[in-house]
A and B are shown apart, each in its own frame.
Chain A
């Protein structure tokens, strides 16, 4: 029953108090610039809808509507057919920063990019002064309509008004309506339209509808009937953790010491590893205290080589003293861990070696689904995709690369690079992204594509990992990790080879023959009609039309020959 799906999801619901998180600047939350903020708002709502449907095994139907109320003043409506939100959680979901069911579970979900839907509610509240209207039902007896906002001081959700309606048709889902100012709707490759289009491509199981401010309805239809498996929960690996992750986790854990906390809530950390960690933190503290820059560097190099014992010994008495201090950290309650200590732990992890984490937590889209998505949304002539086997970067963080390539059909000229991390479209900071640099590195001429700028191509790259290495907190570009760069390059070369084969091969010719037949088929009909309309003879018109077709296909064949001689 719908109700129990929702209940299951919400059993995991925990509240995380994180004012530190909050205090950071808006950039980190994705709310910079009028366009970027708009896209972030849509992102937060839509990913929640898709995630919720996925967890509940529902084929998603998501409708996004944007109304322009005034200049830089909009109403955003997002509605889904997901599991709905039980009444008692509404205030928390929308009003409390980081009160998710996903964040503390460490799974590879879409939702982890921003701060969550409460950030959007907050943004609406700050800019327009209006509460967010939420209408939701778990499919049971009633529909809840609530106006929610945030009590900034208490970091608490506030419900201004709540109405219960009966639910005679058994409607299930969630609809939120936000009024926002200081944003601008632009139909560019960084705006909501492009965001939704890219989202639709990698979620072929979703039906997404979009109404632009001018009233135009855009439908991205479903092209697959399979709901993807929800990602599995995985304990975080020490190599992929960041300071704020640890800090946040310490506030929630039920463990009694930092030692048991680290062992219990991370993968690949044993009791012995904690002793090692103590040594590394000690060594780093000692090295940091060293004044001579060249000595410092030398010591760090030795640390990388694993000479941690010797380094500590070389500091003699003071080494022992620091060691004792650091040991104490491990025995205190996790709640007492300071931000600075969390930072030290993360830094020490970087110098240590761990067993590689298991890869079963990765959730690629799958080559078949990428092909379906590209075909359904872009309607190309040719499409292909590869999902590579999982690899690790930074000596231990598993990741996986997927690439899809579409050519011709209704695509427009030029190469469109569609970047994703964990199925979330990345629309900003393309320049610093490893996906961009790896894709640029391909010599398209070697793959029968003479002039990339004039060839209709779309290249999709998805980097999958529980810890995607983003270049910055905005999470819009993936850092240049060598292993990731290499995987992307290999995958792109693979799909490019398949394209070359297609372009040179008989499939392409068959396609052209079919196209030509379509046009020729209508020539007599069109000629007769035009002759009636204009009085010019049928035969004359037919001849002219046939000539146009011939010329058109001649030039296409020339292009193909040109490409071949270049290969």
Chain B
């Protein structure tokens, strides 16, 4: 049976750390200026060229390429100024214990530069990348710098959550559970009465499980991602695993999109490679839907056709087929079990939704499918 294990990381949120980093950064720039030199900042390079899969840690990580931005360089000056502006803004935010959204950060820093018609930021597409750069430079999440991400997803289960001065049990807030906020850095868990976390792709399925009292019966914490997991949810999953020792089990639709959701939770994404160590959970396991479930549970008549053109047909592969073939090449899908699932999907040309399990009966998923598979640990790596 799945059980809570010993934690591997400790609650580490400490606003002072970010403040110190910002100050150190400011000092370094100032030193160059005081020495009469052209001040610069080193920013880790973004993009595919600076990303790799770390076999040992099983994570997508950022390489060590950096590019140097000078203040007195025609092509860099503006970016340099913008980076400093946002750094100073974050120092104030964190210092005052306030949070802001990306959009608020943009508006707060946009103004006309004295003696010119130029704005410090012309639109949000200029300020967002600067915030990402700072994340990369300092190796911290923007949430730790008090810039919140969009919120999506909720949790339900017998755990006690401390959010500032409030404390509540996430199984006593009604069927809707507790909505995961944009920033979860400061959240603490004084009491945990579950054995594992079940991450569920669709809200419909999460609601079904809650209605069937699955969290209570199976001592599980249900996390609904509602599609691709938001940064807040991914960070929460990471913390529940590493700080609270809870095993993570993922339950998505049996299609390339669902498997991609699993892959981001597990290994991180290329866009956010620099944050993998804080957002990803390589130990996560996958319960379903898998292609083998179709035969095993007799779901042949509730599958749906894959979209796009198969690889062996004219013009193919496109759509779902193309996606599956890409996933087959992911280093973390190289295991025999995964290759088998992906190959079967290509061969049969079908996908299977979580909800298709309702075809058996409404309770089937909560009473048989999940308890059986999880109990026997019939899980994919």
Choose from A214, A522, A532, A547 the contact partner of B91 (Cβ within 8 Å).
Answer: A532
| A519 adjacent to B36 (CB under 8 Å) | no
| A541 adjacent to B30 (CB under 8 Å) | yes
Mark contacts of B55-88 with chain A using CB atoms, 8 A cut-off: 1 yes-contact digit, 0 otherwise.
0000000000000000110110110110011011
B118, CB-defined interface residue at 8 Å: yes
A410, CB-defined interface residue at 8 Å: yes
Residues of B contacting A142 with CB < 8 Å?
A: 314
Nearest CB of chain A from residue B361's CB, rounded to whole Å:
42
| A521 adjacent to B23 (CB under 8 Å) | no
| A532 adjacent to B88 (CB under 8 Å) | yes
B34, CB-defined interface residue at 8 Å: yes
B174, CB-defined interface residue at 8 Å: no
A216, CB-defined interface residue at 8 Å: yes
Q: Using known A-B contacts A165-B314, A215-B49, A216-B49, determine if residue A526 contacts B114 with beta carbons closer than 8 Å.
A: no
A162, CB-defined interface residue at 8 Å: no
Residues of B contacting A544 with CB < 8 Å?
A: 33-34, 36
| B314 adjacent to A166 (CB under 8 Å) | yes
Choose from B22, B36, B91, B314 the contact partner of A164 (Cβ within 8 Å).
Answer: B314
| B314 adjacent to A217 (CB under 8 Å) | no
A515, CB-defined interface residue at 8 Å: yes
A528, CB-defined interface residue at 8 Å: yes
Q: Using known A-B contacts A217-B48, A521-B113, A525-B120, determine if residue A530 contacts B84 with beta carbons closer than 8 Å.
A: yes
Residues of A contacting B29 with CB < 8 Å?
A: 530, 533
Q: Which of A100-108, A223-231, A548-556 contacts B (4 or more CB under 8 A)?
A: A548-556
| B84 adjacent to A526 (CB under 8 Å) | yes
Residues of A contacting B335 with CB < 8 Å?
A: none
Mark contacts of B26-51 with chain A using CB atoms, 8 A cut-off: 1 yes-contact digit, 0 otherwise.
11011001101110000000011100
A167, CB-defined interface residue at 8 Å: yes
| B314 adjacent to A551 (CB under 8 Å) | no
Task: Select the residue from A217, A518, A528 with max chain B CB neighbours within 10 A.
Answer: A518
Q: With A and B bound together, what is the CA distance between A51 and B313 in angstroms?
A: 32
Closest to B32 in A: A548
| A519 adjacent to B71 (CB under 8 Å) | yes
A168, CB-defined interface residue at 8 Å: yes
Q: With A and B bound together, what is the CA distance between A533 and B90 in angstroms?
A: 10
| B33 adjacent to A529 (CB under 8 Å) | no
A143, CB-defined interface residue at 8 Å: yes
A536, CB-defined interface residue at 8 Å: yes
Q: With A and B bound together, what is the CA distance between A530 and B33 in angstroms?
A: 11
Closest to A549 in B: B72
| A548 adjacent to B72 (CB under 8 Å) | yes
| B72 adjacent to A534 (CB under 8 Å) | no
For chain B, the bracket of interface size reads 35 or more
Residues of B contacting A532 with CB < 8 Å?
A: 26, 88, 91-92
Interfacial residues of chain B within 170-212, with CB under 8 A of chain A in the complex: none
| B113 adjacent to A547 (CB under 8 Å) | no
| A548 adjacent to B36 (CB under 8 Å) | yes
Q: Using known A-B contacts A518-B77, A522-B81, A548-B36, determine if residue A530 contacts B48 with beta carbons closer than 8 Å.
A: no
Q: Using known A-B contacts A530-B26, A530-B84, determine if residue A522 contacts B71 with beta carbons closer than 8 Å.
A: yes
| A536 adjacent to B30 (CB under 8 Å) | yes
Interface of A is mostly: helix
Residues of B contacting A164 with CB < 8 Å?
A: 314
Q: With A and B bound together, what is the CA distance between A377 and B293 in angstroms?
A: 55
B12, CB-defined interface residue at 8 Å: no
Closest to A381 in B: B74
Residues of A contacting B80 with CB < 8 Å?
A: 522, 526
Residues of A contacting B47 with CB < 8 Å?
A: 217
Closest to B19 in A: A533
| B315 adjacent to A534 (CB under 8 Å) | no
Interfacial residues of chain B within 91-148, with CB under 8 A of chain A in the complex: 91-92, 113-116, 118, 120
B25, CB-defined interface residue at 8 Å: yes
Q: With A and B bound together, what is the CA distance between A217 and B49 in angstroms?
A: 8
Residues of A contacting B92 with CB < 8 Å?
A: 532
Nearest CB of chain B from residue A84's CB, rounded to whole Å:
15
Mark contacts of B299-328 with chain A using CB atoms, 8 A cut-off: 1 yes-contact digit, 0 otherwise.
000000000000001111000000000000
| B49 adjacent to A214 (CB under 8 Å) | yes
| B26 adjacent to A143 (CB under 8 Å) | no
Q: Using known A-B contacts A165-B314, A519-B77, A541-B30, determine if residue A533 contacts B113 with beta carbons closer than 8 Å.
A: no
Closest to B84 in A: A529
Residues of B contacting A521 with CB < 8 Å?
A: 113, 115-116, 118
Q: With A and B bound together, what is the CA distance between A552 and B78 in angstroms?
A: 18
Nearest CB of chain B from residue A140's CB, rounded to whole Å:
13
Closest to A168 in B: B315
Residues of B contacting A525 with CB < 8 Å?
A: 81, 84-85, 113, 120
| B26 adjacent to A534 (CB under 8 Å) | yes
Residues of A contacting B77 with CB < 8 Å?
A: 518-519, 522
Q: With A and B bound together, what is the CA distance between A12 and B107 in angstroms?
A: 63
A333, CB-defined interface residue at 8 Å: no
Nearest CB of chain B from residue A412's CB, rounded to whole Å:
13
Nearest CB of chain A from residue B147's CB, rounded to whole Å:
16
Q: Using known A-B contacts A518-B74, A544-B33, A548-B38, determine if residue A529 contacts B113 with beta carbons closer than 8 Å.
A: no
| B74 adjacent to A534 (CB under 8 Å) | no
Q: With A and B bound together, what is the CA distance between A6 and B29 in angstroms?
A: 59
Nearest CB of chain B from residue A345's CB, rounded to whole Å:
53
A524, CB-defined interface residue at 8 Å: yes
A545, CB-defined interface residue at 8 Å: yes
Q: With A and B bound together, what is the CA distance between A143 and B315 in angstroms?
A: 8
Closest to B116 in A: A521
| A529 adjacent to B36 (CB under 8 Å) | no
| B33 adjacent to A548 (CB under 8 Å) | yes
Closest to B36 in A: A548
Choose from B25, B34, B71, B74 the contact partner of A526 (Cβ within 8 Å).
Answer: B71
Residues of B contacting A519 with CB < 8 Å?
A: 71-72, 77
| A533 adjacent to B36 (CB under 8 Å) | no
Residues of B contacting A549 with CB < 8 Å?
A: 72
Residues of B contacting A545 with CB < 8 Å?
A: 33, 71
Residues of B contacting A528 with CB < 8 Å?
A: 88
| B49 adjacent to A533 (CB under 8 Å) | no
Nearest CB of chain A from residue B77's CB, rounded to whole Å:
6
Residues of A contacting B85 with CB < 8 Å?
A: 525, 529
Choose from B38, B84, B313 the contact partner of A533 (Cβ within 8 Å).
Answer: B84
Residues of B contacting A551 with CB < 8 Å?
A: 36
Residues of B contacting A515 with CB < 8 Å?
A: 74
Nearest CB of chain A from residue B117's CB, rounded to whole Å:
11
Closest to B37 in A: A548
Task: Select the residue from A165, A217, A522, A552 with max chain B CB neighbours within 10 A.
Answer: A522
Residues of B contacting A215 with CB < 8 Å?
A: 48-49
Q: With A and B bound together, what is the CA distance between A522 and B76 in angstroms?
A: 11
Q: With A and B bound together, what is the CA distance between A519 and B115 in angstroms?
A: 13
Closest to A520 in B: B115
Nearest CB of chain B from residue A66's CB, rounded to whole Å:
13
Q: With A and B bound together, what is the CA distance between A270 and B88 in angstroms?
A: 84
Nearest CB of chain B from residue A101's CB, rounded to whole Å:
28
| A534 adjacent to B118 (CB under 8 Å) | no
Residues of B contacting A524 with CB < 8 Å?
A: 113-114
Residues of A contacting B26 with CB < 8 Å?
A: 530, 532-534
Q: With A and B bound together, what is the CA distance between A238 and B35 in angstroms?
A: 69
Choose from B23, B75, B116 the contact partner of A534 (Cβ within 8 Å).
Answer: B23
Q: With A and B bound together, what is the CA distance between A347 and B23 in angstroms?
A: 80
| B72 adjacent to A529 (CB under 8 Å) | no
Interfacial residues of chain A within 192-251, with CB under 8 A of chain B in the complex: 214-217
21 pairs of residues in contact across A and B, judged by CB atoms under 8 Å: A164-B314, A217-B49, A519-B71, A521-B115, A521-B118, A522-B81, A522-B113, A525-B120, A526-B71, A526-B81, A526-B84, A529-B81, A529-B84, A533-B23, A534-B23, A536-B30, A545-B71, A548-B36, A549-B72, A551-B36, A552-B72
**Interface pairs A-B: 6 shortest CB-CB:** A533-B26, A165-B314, A166-B314, A529-B84, A532-B88, A529-B88
Beyond the given pairs A214-B49, A522-B77, 17 more chain A to chain B contacts, judged by CB atoms under 8 angstroms and listed by A's residue number, are A142-B314, A143-B314, A143-B315, A168-B315, A215-B48, A515-B74, A519-B71, A521-B113, A522-B78, A530-B88, A532-B26, A532-B92, A533-B29, A536-B30, A548-B36, A551-B36, A552-B38
